[in-house]
Amino acid sequence: MFYLIYNTISLFLVVPVVMYHLYRSVSRGRPPALAERFGFIPNDALQKISDRPVIWLHAVSVGESIAARPLLKNLRSRYPDHAILVSNTTETGRGVASGFPEIDLCIYFPFDFLPGVRRTLDLIQPAMVVIMETEIWPNFTREVRRRDIPVLLANGRISDRSFSGYLRFSWFFRHALQLFSRLCMQTDLDSQRITAIGAPADRVVTTGNLKYDIPFRQVHDDEKKRLRAIYAIPEDVIVITAASTHAGEEQHIISAFQTLLINCRDLFLVLVPRHPERSAEVSLLLERSGLPFRRRTTLMEGERLPEGTVLLVDTVGEMMNLYALSDIAFVGGSLVPTGGHNLLEPASRGVACLFGPHMSNFREIAALVLTYQAGLQVETPQELTEACRELIINRPLRLEYGRNGLKMMTENGGATSRHMEIIANYL
């Protein structure tokens, strides 16, 4: 009865969903790829996975794609005769995932309308489906299980903010949750929460966070110098990178940079909005500030920008290089109530990190960063300015934070191997 009602309602939602998707794609200057989202995948694309069993991993956007990278590398190594397909929901996620060499084919995840889901599964015929974090789509999950295909939830998490909503609609989510072959959750708390929502307790296991298994290393001076040349950044400046910023944060970051420049001219700011389509909006803020700035897409080979400049990054897929060339990193989505972003990325390059009070989506990671003294949490924009000033002046302190971050990465890995042990039971 649940699925009958769900699919009846879905029929009325087809047009609104398509219209919203078209608006979102056009407004962001990205192709809508509607055919693929209804299960029409080109034959030349399907040839890349033909005649091999397919492992299908779904990662919604950029963060999930990056978190999946250690798992993808291990799947490629352990199952060389399988094809690996990755699906994404967002265009930015697709842009990042399509650059991973471990992947044979990258597609858009189908809308959860029954004909499109069935057509996609008919074309791909996966041997296994792995869904990153917490993507719960009733039709997709049911159709996968109807074909006796194992479906695993990997790196699952239930944030503080979303838990009450999931509980309120547990009557909706439990139908799909009960179809998962295994649910691999990041923490014991996440395991308890997904069980409360309706997942069978005997299929839930705590496996740790895959994000701790991202490659980590100390960045040496030669590499830092090479990367700075690529991005037209002077060699002998202190680089502050403000990453994954959201509306309401950039103005505070720009003001902090202006204040810091009063007493220290050898600074450089790299500003990376979470959504590149907001670059025009951020450009206006920079113009009003009077600070010299350049967009990443306008840089020319061999160019060198002066100290005190802001590099506005209007591209995707370059974040790890930008962290590697930095001295200090502020991780956005945390000065505004967005829930924060991944602090492990700057830590994995030995960079001291700063973040704001709103870290509900990364509560475990934020707590670990503070425990290891790999970064500082600030409560206000004024505290952000003062924390940056302290790290600029105190080079030994920022280097110590960087070393502590690498130690944290060393001591908290292992989630990939635990996931692989479970996957091996189904392949």
Q: What is the pLDDT of residues 290-339, one digit of tens each?
A: 999 999 999 998 899 999 999 999 998 899 999 999 999 999 999 999 99
Cross-strand bridge partners of residue 159: none
Rounded to two decimals, the pTM is 0.72
Residues 313 and 91: their CA atoms lie apart, in Å, by 17
Of 36, 64, 135, 345, the catalytic one is 64
List pLDDT tens digits, range 187-216: 999 999 999 999 999 999 999 999 888 889
List pLDDT tens digits, range 210-258: 988 888 999 999 999 999 999 999 999 999 999 999 999 999 999 999 9
Q: What mean pLDDT, rounded, does the chain reach?
A: 93
Residues 160 and 361: their CA atoms lie apart, in Å, by 7
| 418 vs 13, higher pLDDT | 418
Which uninterrupted H or E stretch holds 253? Answer: helix 250-263
Q: How confident is the model at residue 172 (pLDDT cuts 50, 70, 90)?
A: confident
Q: Is the pLDDT of residue 30 over 80?
A: no
Verify whether residue 411 is a known catalytic residue: no
Composition of the chain by helix, strand, coil, percent to 5: 50, 15, 35
The residues, ordered by sequence, that sit 6+ positions from 49 with a Cβ below 8 Å of its Cβ are: 83, 85, 104, 105, 124
Q: In this predicted structure, what is the pLDDT of residue 415?
A: 94
The residues, ordered by sequence, that sit 6+ positions from 151 with a Cβ below 8 Å of its Cβ are: 128, 129, 130, 131, 141, 144, 145, 179, 180, 181
Half-sphere exposure in the Cβ direction for 274 (13 Å, CA)? 22
Please name each of the domains of the chain with its CATH number.
Answer: 29-214+414-424 (3.40.50.11720), 221-411 (3.40.50.2000)
